[in-house]
Structure 1
Amino acid sequence: MTSSGKKPTDISRRSLLGTAGAGALLAVSPFSINILRAQEQTIKIGFPVPLTGPYGTEAQDQVRAAEVAIAEFNEAGGLNGRKAELLVRDDKLNPGEAATRALELIEKDKVNFIVGSLSAAVQLAVNNVTKERGVIFNSISQSDAINEIADFSKFTFHEALNPHMTAGAVGRYAFPKFGKKVAFLTADYAYGHEMVRGFREAGKAVGIEELADIRHPIGATDFSTLLPRIQALKPDILCICNFGRDQQIALKQATDFGLKRNIKLITPILLYTGRLAAGAQAFNGVIGGTSYYWGIEDQFASAKAFNDRFRKMHDGKVPSDYGALGYGGVKTLLMAAKEAGSVESEMVIAAMEALKYDYYKGPQYFRKCDHQSVQSVFIIESKTQNQRNEADVFDVVATEQPNEANLRSCESLGHKA
């Protein structure tokens, strides 16, 4: 008997197992170890949005909805065991700040993808950074320019509607119904300018008469000098082409000035968050467009599933329109990565281009020439009666179905078809 009291057969067995284990480690090194390490690494998605500033309410809802997409992906097992992580940054609604945050996300945080932005100019700044560094960017803010050849790259995707689609859909609905004499109240930056252009293009088909395009700076709080000028023009329709708090204040003051008595107020985008903040009176009877309204859950199972998960994660609330874009922008990238079996850019790009998806609002797909998401536009009207609950603030009065004919042509954007 040995001094340890163990039998030689025990030692031999242990030695054999140890040797076998060492041999197994040698057999999987170094390539297999690298694979194991890759599986342990999280898939990082940078998410720069304007958490502070006039669009902060919408941006915070984008974050909440993006968290839903992350949770769903992780609970479903991720990408071969790799989980996803959302890295949120405040771009302060400033192109320079956004570019700096995007660069930090890529170089310091080593993100795999970037999703975000809530301004036409800001998303172009982010896109300039990402395309130079070969990182996929899925924009969730409206812009016409991001699809144009001057700003586009193969790394650029656009989950949001663009102004040509949105204003075009609202114009095609409103101009034949409410009259051809049209005035514009326009936020004086890219978003406002592009929305006006979209209305004008839609108006050509019915021969609208443009009376004026009256512009204001972003962040305006007093429209009292502008509204009497508009009232004096006696338009049939006033297109209010602004966003966020600008929209809330403009609609409230237009209501107070009595413009609704003789003028139909329409907006390219009618914001759920704005309607809740400003109240029923300011928004009553206003027509607008949206990429998403929670009430479509009666029509689409995907919307119901998304809404239910959002409610569960966020105290029973429903997602806003721009919030839903945060979900869609993250979800499409994660599903494409899963389909590709990789986070490598070229493979994910190919998978994104092949996606035919219905994640939250009905069928969508990315047009190959410019990576614009082809999707429905919902025409909504604010209501004050027959509300099922406090979130039931809009009626969907029409739906423009996904149709590439409603997009600017690939050739007009500088692409080959």
Structure 2
Amino acid sequence: MRRNIIAAIALLLWGAGLTASAVAQQPVKLGVLNDQTGLYADLTGMGSVHAARMAVEDYGGKVLGRPIEVIFADHQNKPDIGANIARQWIETEGVNLILDIPNSAVGLAVREVTRTHDAVDINTGAATSDLSGKACSPHGVHWSFDTYGLAATIGQALVKQGGDTWFFITADYAFGHALERDTSAFVTAAGGKVVGAARHPLNTADFSSFLLQAQASKAKIVALSNAGGDTINAIKQAGEFGLGRSSDQRVAALLLQFPDTHALGLEAAQGLTASETFFWDLDDATRAWTKRFLARNGGKPPSMIHAGTYGATLHYLKAVAAAGTTDATKVVAKMKELPIDDFYTKGTVREDGRVMRPYYLLQVKKPSESRYPFDYLKLLATVPAEKAARPLSESDCPMVKPR
């Protein structure tokens, strides 16, 4: 009897040792979920995959003694596809972190998946401020930018410059609606007036009917509440309609990222005002990282989503090491404790999951002002993090304590 008991205990201990060894060899898996082929591919796509892998290499390739693996997939800008990929990744492939997730409708769908699973989502690609508002989660972080910060930076500035009447051309889904909503609030608060809006489907080729409505409104600001390929097409076609170059009506791209400006070229984009949280030529650190990124990304310049994906990956890995686990709730809690420190971000993760960071008001240079490759932007103003973030006293995030 005693020999049987000892043998059974030995067998259990041996099995436990095998299990611990097996767990130690399982990779910590990071999934980059984004648009690989559509209108946001230049802003996210393989650039985000390269950025995540750069961060893993810079971290050392292992955490908690386990290798780190980066995988990726294309959500095709469809919330159901994005949610299904996220669920499969977590339940069958052991993915611990989902990154990027551009397209706010997809981002919100994935947020609901990670909320009920042991996985973290760090949204570096979608903009809706609801990700740190009513859709906030103990498993989620909103990293690079949001519609509130964009609105706080560009909305108030243009009203102060005399743009006191606004017409919105808005992408008809969660992101466009949130950006129009948040910008309208700042325009109204600054003494301006919204005189109308037109909604367009995602990935629109022909903006003529929307631009004609904007012209007929006589609004001083024609605000593009869209992104990526839609913004590029709208700006090009606005020029054909005579919008943007006259003193009467000015085109404002509420989310114009650096690859968009690069795709447009200075001749078409000159004079446009933009709001970003990152641009490559900000300082020596951003220039050094961009040089490395260009070599990985076929010479294509980085967006703030790419920069954010790098920083989010690095901060997540530091939090995993500090927490001693990949448990989603514990890791996100540790992310909120640790300061963020990389070439792009010097800040913190607030209790609602929003990264606190400054926003930059930028203007696209004239061709004659550009002195070297990618010299496209000039800095007009910096909005500090406290001014660019929705006050917690106004938050509808269930995790925020009443103030």
Same fold (TM over 0.5): yes
* Residue of structure 2 in register with 1:313 after alignment: 296
Q: Does 1:275 align with 2:261?
A: yes
Q: Does 1:91 align with 2:96?
A: no
* Residue of structure 2 in register with 1:253 after alignment: 237
Q: Does 1:352 align with 2:311?
A: no
**TM-score, reference length from structure 2:** 0.89
Taking the aligned partners of 1:377 and 1:199, their CA distance within structure 2 comes to 15
Taking the aligned partners of 2:259 and 2:329, their CA distance within structure 1 comes to 37
Taking the aligned partners of 1:100 and 1:36, their CA distance within structure 2 comes to 31
Q: Does 1:377 align with 2:359?
A: yes
Taking the aligned partners of 1:139 and 1:406, their CA distance within structure 2 comes to 16
The structure 2 residue matched to 1:291, chosen from 277, 299, 314, is: 277
Residue ranges of structure 1 left out of the alignment (5+ in a row): 1-24
* Residue of structure 1 in register with 2:32 after alignment: 47
* Residue of structure 2 in register with 1:241 after alignment: 225
Taking the aligned partners of 2:43 and 2:301, their CA distance within structure 1 comes to 13
Taking the aligned partners of 2:336 and 2:344, their CA distance within structure 1 comes to 19
CA offset digits 1:313-369 (Å, max 9, x no partner): 34555422222122123222112112223222233122111121121324221111x
Taking the aligned partners of 2:308 and 2:391, their CA distance within structure 1 comes to 21
In 2 relative to 1, CA 388–322 (structure 1 residues): closer, same or farther, beyond 3 Å?
Answer: farther
Off by >3 Å, runs of 4+ in structure 1: 28-39, 311-318
The structure 2 residue matched to 1:57, chosen from 14, 18, 42, is: 42
- Opposite residue 42 of structure 2, the aligned amino acid is T
* Residue of structure 1 in register with 2:139 after alignment: 155
In 2 relative to 1, CA 343–163 (structure 1 residues): closer, same or farther, beyond 3 Å?
Answer: same
Q: Is the 8 A contact 1:79 1:341 kept in 2?
A: no
* Residue of structure 2 in register with 1:361 after alignment: 344
Q: Does 1:104 align with 2:88?
A: yes
Q: Is the 8 A contact 1:381 1:397 kept in 2?
A: yes
Q: CA deviation at 1:208?
A: 0.2
**1:46 is paired with a residue of what secondary structure?**
strand
Q: Is the 8 A contact 1:336 1:348 kept in 2?
A: yes
Taking the aligned partners of 2:109 and 2:87, their CA distance within structure 1 comes to 11
* Residue of structure 1 in register with 2:376 after alignment: 393
The structure 2 residue matched to 1:173, chosen from 157, 179, 194, is: 157
Q: Does 1:327 align with 2:314?
A: no
**TM-score, reference length from structure 1:** 0.86
In 2 relative to 1, CA 80–153 (structure 1 residues): closer, same or farther, beyond 3 Å?
Answer: closer
* Residue of structure 2 in register with 1:208 after alignment: 192
Q: CA deviation at 1:398?
A: 1.4
Taking the aligned partners of 2:115 and 2:311, their CA distance within structure 1 comes to 21
In 2 relative to 1, CA 162–347 (structure 1 residues): closer, same or farther, beyond 3 Å?
Answer: same
- Opposite residue 59 of structure 1, the aligned amino acid is T
The structure 2 residue matched to 1:341, chosen from 321, 324, 340, is: 324
In 2 relative to 1, CA 346–199 (structure 1 residues): closer, same or farther, beyond 3 Å?
Answer: closer
Q: Is the 8 A contact 1:374 1:404 kept in 2?
A: no
In 2 relative to 1, CA 414–90 (structure 1 residues): closer, same or farther, beyond 3 Å?
Answer: closer
Taking the aligned partners of 2:375 and 2:168, their CA distance within structure 1 comes to 28
Taking the aligned partners of 1:410 and 1:137, their CA distance within structure 2 comes to 25
In 2 relative to 1, CA 313–218 (structure 1 residues): closer, same or farther, beyond 3 Å?
Answer: closer
Q: CA deviation at 1:192?
A: 1.1
In 2 relative to 1, CA 316–58 (structure 1 residues): closer, same or farther, beyond 3 Å?
Answer: closer
Taking the aligned partners of 2:328 and 2:210, their CA distance within structure 1 comes to 49
Q: CA deviation at 1:33?
A: 5.4
CA offset digits 1:219-267 (Å, max 9, x no partner): 1111222223322332222211111111001001111211121222212
Taking the aligned partners of 2:93 and 2:57, their CA distance within structure 1 comes to 20
- Opposite residue 209 of structure 1, the aligned amino acid is K
Q: CA deviation at 1:180?
A: 0.7
Number of residue pairs aligned between Structure 1 and Structure 2:
386
Q: Is the 8 A contact 2:273 2:362 kept in 1?
A: yes
- Opposite residue 162 of structure 1, the aligned amino acid is D
In 2 relative to 1, CA 30–255 (structure 1 residues): closer, same or farther, beyond 3 Å?
Answer: same
**2:254 is paired with a residue of what secondary structure?**
strand
Percent identity, aligned pairs only, is: 27
RMSD: 2.3
* Residue of structure 1 in register with 2:7 after alignment: none
CA offset digits 1:36-58 (Å, max 9, x no partner): 44443321012211112221222
Between structure 1 and structure 2, the one with the greater Rg is: 1
Q: Does 1:71 align with 2:57?
A: yes
